Amino acid sequence: MLGTFAAGGFHDPRIVGRFDCFAGTSKERTARRYGVVGVNLLARRA
């Protein structure tokens, strides 16, 4: 995701927060298997 933003005209894209958004859902096991987490991303247009 960060690479897509960097290649798309954004300066210094970065992850600024993480969330365990699938905990307690029927997809929790799949999320843990593949390391799926919710994130906050900040990027500034160049």
Task: List contacts with other proteins (CB under 8 A).
Answer: 1, 4-5, 7-10, 13, 15-27, 30, 33-46
Name the 3-class secondary structure at 4: helix
Nearest approach, Cβ of residue 27 and other proteins (Å): 5
CA 17, 18, 24, 28 dihedral sign is positive
Nearest approach, Cβ of residue 28 and other proteins (Å): 9
Nearest approach, Cβ of residue 8 and other proteins (Å): 4
